[in-house]
């Protein structure tokens, strides 16, 4: 059992918190109440960033002391939304939210994952007709191993997980969010994930 704090209790955060609780972990889902994120992060072993990516860096940088030595799992994408509310551009072109977080939180082990799919797939990958891919980006091998275990608890098979390497590789997966609005416009809001076929 791992003690997990999920920052953000919208569709993504709520979905992850419920699934990880069902898997037997001790999970707290945190809203924007003053002091709630700091209190949860202080007692957690793993913190999941499921806050809207546009404000994630500012929110998490304020928790530098609480996140010291912790694993921070970043599932958000930092985008500028278009008129229809769907992602239109990246906030950190030539970089990524994950890289910005790692730079702002040097004593925290940041791992990027689960950001290349619609949120229902995060906790139910086997419901797709083809196996999806969950990518891992991060500098710390032990932290990535811990995240692999959490992914397994969410239903991800080992062969569906691809470790891309260091945190800089997150800029590739974060850029993949630009596929999403076009796919949704073409085929509707049906769960899908970006996958590597071999």
Q: Round to whole Å and give the CA distance between 139 and 193.
A: 24
The answer as to whether 33 is a domain residue is yes
Name the residue range of residue 118's domain: 3-187
Overall number of domains in the chain: 1
DSSP 58-117: HHHHTTTTTTTT-EEEE----EEE-TTSSEEEESSTTS-HHHHHHHH-TTSEEEE-S-SB
Q: Round to whole Å and give the CA distance between 125 and 133.
A: 9
The answer as to whether 195 is a domain residue is no
The answer as to whether 120 is a domain residue is yes
Q: Report whether pLDDT(43) > 90.
A: yes
pTM for the full predicted model = 0.96
Mean pLDDT of 149-176: 97
Please write the tens of the pLDDT for every residue from 103-155.
999 999 999 999 999 999 999 999 999 999 999 999 999 999 999 999 999 99
CATH value at residue 121:
3.40.50.720
């Amino acid at each position: 059992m791992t003690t997990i704090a999920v920052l953000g209790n919208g569709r993504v955060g709520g979905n992850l918190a419920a699934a990880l609780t069902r898997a037997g972990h001790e999970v707290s889902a945190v809203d924007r109440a003053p002091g709630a994120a700091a209190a949860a992060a202080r007692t957690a072993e793993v913190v999941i960033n499921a806050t809207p990516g546009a404000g994630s860096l500012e929110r998490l940088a304020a928790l530098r002391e609480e996140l010291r030595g912790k694993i921070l799992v970043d599932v958000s994408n930092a985008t500028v939304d278009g008129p229809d509310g769907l992602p239109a551009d990246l906030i950190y072109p030539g970089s990524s939210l994950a890289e910005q977080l790692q730079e702002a939180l040097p004593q925290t082990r940041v791992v990027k994952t689960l950001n290349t799919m619609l949120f229902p797939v995060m906790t139910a990958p086997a419901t797709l007709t083809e196996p999806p891919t969950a990518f891992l980006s991060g500098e710390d091998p032990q932290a990535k191993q811990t995240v692999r275990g959490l992914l397994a608890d969410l239903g991800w098979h080992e062969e569906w997980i691809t470790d891309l390497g260091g945190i800089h590789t997150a800029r590739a997966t974060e850029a993949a969010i630009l596929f999403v609005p076009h796919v949704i416009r073409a085929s509707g809001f049906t769960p899908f994930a970006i996958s590597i076929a071999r």
